[in-house]
Amino acid sequence: MKLNTSKLVLTVSAVTAAAMMTLANAQTTKEEQSKLTPDAVISDLMAGNARFVAGENTAPKVAESRAATATGQYPKAVILSCLDSRVPVELVFDQEIGDIFVGRVAGNIENEDQLGSMEFATKLAGSKLVMVLGHSSCGAVKGACDGAKLGNVTALLSKIQPAVDAVEGFEPDQRNSKNSEFVAKVVEQNVRQTVADIRKGSEVLAELEKSGDIKIVGGVYDLASGKVTLLD
């Protein structure tokens, strides 16, 4: 197998040499997945994002990738992203078919279905990382900031409202979608809230994280630069 050195995990201290994978077609095998650590997966995704920001994504071999994954899948991570069409998750992290699970919903909020999907991805399918990925200028967050009402959108935005309420330091007339600084703070708080809600809502995921089998992290994607910033 020809090694693609651009896909090497960058942080040696985060993973053993056996887990520092690089793949000809970027598909993770079952053996390689089993050797990965959560930190190794984070390093791999962030290295991929650096390539995306630089416009140096590896060219996907779609036919080969499709064939390689037709009989099985061993993704490294499950990423809960916003529905926004400007956040193409696989491209953002320079991943290919079979590399990551992606769940999408406006405002990157968790619910029972998303939690069940994450439990499948980790406990049953072996993924090592759960990431909640928010993004700048999120329309769902803006809607929550303004108290928007529309059909089922109303119930969805109500799940973001606690993040709106938790952001302090702004006068009442500054707490709306016209204030980009306020929106940015709510975007970050909403990611943190979702991470906390995942741990609270899923004993399976909480136990996997406690045992060190997975990590649950949050990040924010910048629409202008393409950069993902991990949150503390």
Q: Which CATH superfamily is domain 5-230 in?
A: Carbonic anhydrase (3.40.1050.10)
- Give kind and range of the element (H or E) at residue 219: strand 215-221
Please state the pTM of the whole predicted model.
0.87
Compute the mean pLDDT over every residue in the chain, rounded to the nearest whole number: 90
> In the chain, where does DSSP find H-type helix?
30-35, 38-53, 62-69, 89-92, 112-119, 139-145, 153-158, 161-166, 180-201, 203-210
Q: Is the separation of the CB atoms in 201 and 115 below 8 Å?
A: yes
Q: What is the mean pLDDT of residues 101-117?
A: 98
pLDDT score recorded for residue 21: 38
